[in-house]
Amino acid sequence: MPPQANAPLPSGYQLDQYRIDRQLSLGGFSIVYLAYDAQGSAVAIKEYLPNALDLRRDGQIEPVVLAEHEAAFRYGMKCFFEEGRALAKLMHPNLVRVLNFFRANGTVYMVMRFERGRTLHDLIQKHRGALRERFIRGLFIRLLNGLREVHAHKLLHLDIKPSNIYVRTDGTPVLLDFGAARQTAVSGQPALRAMYTPGFASPEQLDRSAPLGPWTDIYSVGASLYACLGGSAPPPASERQRQDSYQPAAAAFAKDHSAQLLETIDWCLQLDPLARPQSVYALQKAMARCEPDQPVPGTLFTDLGAKIKAFIGRS
């Protein structure tokens, strides 16, 4: 693994009203920390720090931005700050809660509620091919409630994937990492394009001229569902557009899951945006519909709850 490009803030560093404890994760645009507020409550703080535009070495606090990257850095920082303002308005049990956002150290920070649990990616790796259909349906029906709230505020997530879906210790899902979230076109303003994750990103995210919409996030939901069954994402959209090697879920997983669920996944993963569900509500209706011999996913973790809690506790 290559060394981390930007050094994190040191443990114990006082950032505004928060004390940094340690780094939690690293992305191409940001570092996320575990920190504690003045009351001793745990929070997650996301720091805007794009690897391609700046550099911060050990012992430094402010990033060093080269003159030729200054404009791009400041534009990205402005977008990040505006996203914090927009996302702070979202209050839903299945969305990560943004508590604060502020400028410091020549960059910007987003403070979020710290969630305890494990990512869906962790669960997929632990229970590869063994996640039960009732669990999958129940998890995503609830997660889609949160995504409906995002879309209702004229926002798109644009980076839905198992590593951005958290399963709390009580078994409820929460959609994380809105760093890629962008407001949709409003008043003629073009949508901003974000970094995408191959396999989970829709074809239109690769084409700057293609319109983005709820159908874009729905493709990523379908890819995440596919990963729950097969352990990994479907082929990247770029490869599928050249020569589609996608094996439909209806064929790949017919022995272990209902035809209705598999057809729903394949519906979400259509390359043509118009051939997918056009709204989260339409997808939710499909996810709640079961085969005659399948139980309705009313209680989410009645069968897997104990196992998942035990796994989260051990990890």
In the chain, CATH 1.10.510.10 sits at 117-314
pLDDT computed for residue 309 by the predictor: 53
As a whole number, mean pLDDT of residues 48-57 equals: 88
Q: Which fold is adopted by the domain 117-314? A: Transferase(Phosphotransferase); domain 1 (1.10.510)
In the chain, CATH 3.30.200.20 sits at 14-113
pLDDT for residue 293 is more than 60:
no
pLDDT tens-digit readout, 69-111: 898 898 888 888 887 888 888 999 999 999 999 999 999 999 9
Which of the listed CATH numbers 3.30.420.40, 3.40.50.720, 3.30.200.20, 2.40.110.10 matches domain 14-113? 3.30.200.20
pLDDT for residue 261 is more than 50:
yes
Mean pLDDT of the chain: 85
As a whole number, mean pLDDT of residues 113-142 equals: 92
Pairing between β-strand 107-113 and β-strand 98-104 as defined by DSSP bridges: antiparallel
pLDDT for residue 186 is more than 70:
no
